[in-house]
Amino acid sequence: MRIALDPVPLVLGIYAHVSEVLGRAAERRADDTAEALGRRYARQREEAADREVQQLVRVLHADLKTADKLLRKTADVWEISRETDLVTLVIHPRGQAPDPRAYVLLRPDDVRALLAAIRDAARGAGQDQETLDQLDRAVDAIGGRPTDYLTFGFDPWQA
């Protein structure tokens, strides 16, 4: 799917989604201090503690990696928008269409949440109803298994 968007609500939607991802990562950490974490895992058998700590770090790293990838793509959005006033948002299953100029690979749940944030930013920025409807349809159309990857990217707008 391809949706023409103004770059401002697109970048604001990405910003809001990244803020949510980082907020969730911080919440998962809870209020445990390094000392409290050390005591908790020191009481477990070594193998179990190793697995749990590795999982803890992996989850945090995945969230940070996704947030970093998306924030870096905002620079690409601005660069593309210099060529044309609008940016084309491109979403398709990995490897099933030509890749857009700038893209990231995301899982379906991440794409749905990101599209919802972009839609909310577009609504707040006063985008027309057709654009909002396209974004709603895009959210509904995202399918696939949770382990699949979708290409989420940007191309210059073409009339």
What does the DSSP assignment read for 21-45?
HHHHHHHHHTT--HHHHHHHHHTS-
Positions in the chain short of pLDDT 70: 29-31
- What pLDDT score was predicted for residue 105? 94
Q: Are the C-beta atoms of residues 153 and 99 closer than 8 Å to each other?
A: yes
- What pLDDT score was predicted for residue 116? 96
Q: Residue 90 to residues 19, 35, 85, 154: CA-CA distances in angstroms?
A: 22, 46, 16, 6
pTM, two decimals, is 0.85
- What pLDDT score was predicted for residue 33? 78
What residue numbers bound the domain in which 26 lies? Answer: 2-156
- What pLDDT score was predicted for residue 111? 94
- What pLDDT score was predicted for residue 107? 93
Domain count for the chain: 1
- What pLDDT score was predicted for residue 50? 85
- What pLDDT score was predicted for residue 31? 62
**Residue 46 has which token pair?**
């070594």
- What pLDDT score was predicted for residue 70? 94
Q: Residue 33 to residues 29, 37, 154: CA-CA distances in angstroms?
A: 9, 6, 41
C-alpha–C-alpha distance, residues 59 and 63, integer Å = 6
